Amino acid sequence: MKKGLFNKKDIEPACLLCVHGKMAPDMKSILCIKKGLMRPESKCRHFEYDPLKRVPRRDPVLPALDPEDFKI
């Protein structure tokens, strides 16, 4: 995979998106290999971005079009 494929500078570091973190069974915390139990929004110096953990934004809902929109 190319290094420039994902723009890592736009991604805010968070344990939720880290390679070392895994969601805990309570779904409110992250189990980190390096630091232990962490909050999802926290970060540490061991942060390594995992693009497969990111949830993409949804597409905006487009307004319904009327037939009058296409009349001249």
CA 6 from chain centre, in angstroms, equals 12
2 vs 70: CA distance, rounded Å: 44
- Opening angle at CA 59, ends 58 and 63, nearest 5: 135
Split at pLDDT 50, 70, 90, the class of 55 is: confident
Q: Is the per-residue pLDDT at 2 higher than 80?
A: no
| pLDDT at residue 37 in the model | 94
Predicted structure pTM score? 0.64
pLDDT for the residue numbered 6: 57
3-state DSSP assignment of residue 70: helix
Extents of the domains making up the chain: 10-53
